Amino acid sequence: MDWFKDLDSEKIPEHIAIIMDGNGRWAKAHGKPRVFGHKNGVKSVREITEGSAEAGVRYLTLYAFSTENWSRPKLEVNALMSLLVQTMDNEITTLMKNNIRLRTIGDISQLPEKNYQSLKKGMEETAHNDRMDLILALNYSGQADIINATKKIAAEVKEGKLNIADINCGTFSQNLSTAGIPPPELLIRTSGELRLSNFLLWELAYTELYFSPVFWPDFRKQHLYDAIKSFQQRERRFGKTGEQISN
């Protein structure tokens, strides 16, 4: 039986973003080192990528490594980086088979060379896939992205290519690393934490937020179903009144 069959197929979020949280606490609860949690987190990445594509999601953005994560113990950072290379190398065939395109946001040029190369390879090989875009946020910071966009816009103004009066939301969106990607309709954060942690700060302006108590390594299609179901029961008003929306 299809796990998503009771969802309204007309109201599947086009873009879901996920803050995958709770790997460390999950590992601790199992009496294991933190890295064990990350390894099991990869299983959830696989399952939720597959589930999102099955349900008809067009963009899935996963917060895999923030600019702040560099300050974790060196051992953990190294383990996360090797896990990423391993996962990339193992999963390219699956991405190809499922017609999924790999993309990244964040400054991947600052990742270890091995990571940079395996991501580049994954992105090149999957560039023409068009069922779903899997966007990994790596060495990503929402604030840094906004600052970068501001710098690019300021340079255009300085060069006389843009009038200050013409700067609007569109100008900003086009200069972010997510340019051309519709903003997430649904944000999921696992593990019970109620924060955005510097993720997609501009893009989340009107996103529906869903917080799950489940630690990421335990997050399965059933939990994704619950999140999408909750999204489908909401009224999105974008600043308007409920009456305006129902008319």
Residue nearest to ligand FPP (CB): 24
Which residues from 132-171 bind ligand FPP, rule CB under 6 A? 136
The residue from 16, 48, 53, 64 that contacts ligand FPP (CB under 6 A) is: 64
DSSP string over 200-237: STTTTTTPEEEE--S-GGG--HHHHHHHHHHHHTSPP-
- The first and second tokens of residue 68, run together, are 């702040």
Which residues from 174-233 bind ligand FPP, rule CB under 6 A? 191, 216
Is 69 a catalytic site residue? yes
Q: Is 51 in the site for ligand FPP (CB under 6 A)?
A: no
Query: What string marks each residue from 82 to 111 as x (binds ligand FPP by CB under 6 A) or -?
Result: -xx--x------------------------
A 10 A CB-CB count for 83 gives 16
Rounded to whole angstroms, the Cα distance separating 16 from 13 reads: 6
Q: What is the CA radius of gyration of the chain?
A: 19
Q: Is 52 in the site for ligand FPP (CB under 6 A)?
A: no
Nearest to 143 by CA among 65, 87, 198: 198
Is 99 a catalytic site residue? no
Q: Which residue's CB is nearer to ligand FPP, number 125 or number 156? A: 125
Say how many residues touch ligand FPP, by CB under 6 A: 19
Q: Which residues are annotated as catalytic?
A: 21, 69
